[in-house]
Chain A
């Protein structure tokens, strides 16, 4: 009370809310992650001898569309929670998990059927970039399962659902990374 009175009297700024701190912290985390992914991307363009016919173009397009669809379901889950539609949120989280698993399965299939090895320059770049990205997809799926379980227990409300929002933001970040990785690995030649 005394602090609040002091703040009001002297016009000083109050401390940011825990929600705002959560958001700022998560964005700082995204920034630090972007440096890692940016370095991988620059390595891909620095190294020579990469041609797009080495990879399965159709599979690449399909898993990209699957990840894009998962962003739509994740967005719907968060918006549904904001609107108080708990059941829709839970179903959309489940759909996001399923699409995330489909994406991870597609990457695993690409690894299994790849015509190049990790000893080659392109193999080194491809397996490193897709491997680190896939590890983020898998951790995102774990977060989504945790968020879904908490949502199922009724732990979130339209007023308080940072668990869903933070998880969905992380999932969108994984999608943003793939927005740059997909053309770099599959579409850009040389």
Chain B
């Protein structure tokens, strides 16, 4: 998969999770379940951004152009 395509797939996943967490939060009555679900969604979204958009793995890569 190309660099552009991989980023767009991640973006679509982020969008789906964002809309899902909105409906999850507004439609659920249990506070504990809502908190747990939203916390899990936030961690997954943050990991996706850090991994695929911020390229954290490049910090450990020895040398690289640019």
Interface residues of A (CB under 8 A from B): 17, 19-20, 23-24, 27, 52, 57, 61, 64-65, 68, 71-72, 74-76, 79, 82-83, 157-162, 165, 168-169, 172-173, 175-176, 179-180, 183, 186-190
Contacts and interface: CB of A to CB of B under 8 A. Distances in A.
A187 B65 CA distance: 42
Interface of B: 3-4, 7-8, 11, 14-15, 18-19, 21-22, 25-26, 31, 34-35, 38-39, 41-42, 45-46, 49-50, 53-56, 58-59, 63-66
Given A68-B11, A187-B26, A188-B25, 13 more contacts: A20-B63, A52-B25, A61-B18, A74-B53, A76-B7, A79-B4, A82-B66, A160-B66, A162-B66, A179-B46, A180-B42, A180-B46, A187-B21
Contact of A68 (B18, B22, B59): B18
Can you list the 5 inter-chain pairs with the closest CB atoms, starting with the nearest? A187-B25, A183-B38, A72-B11, A75-B7, A172-B53
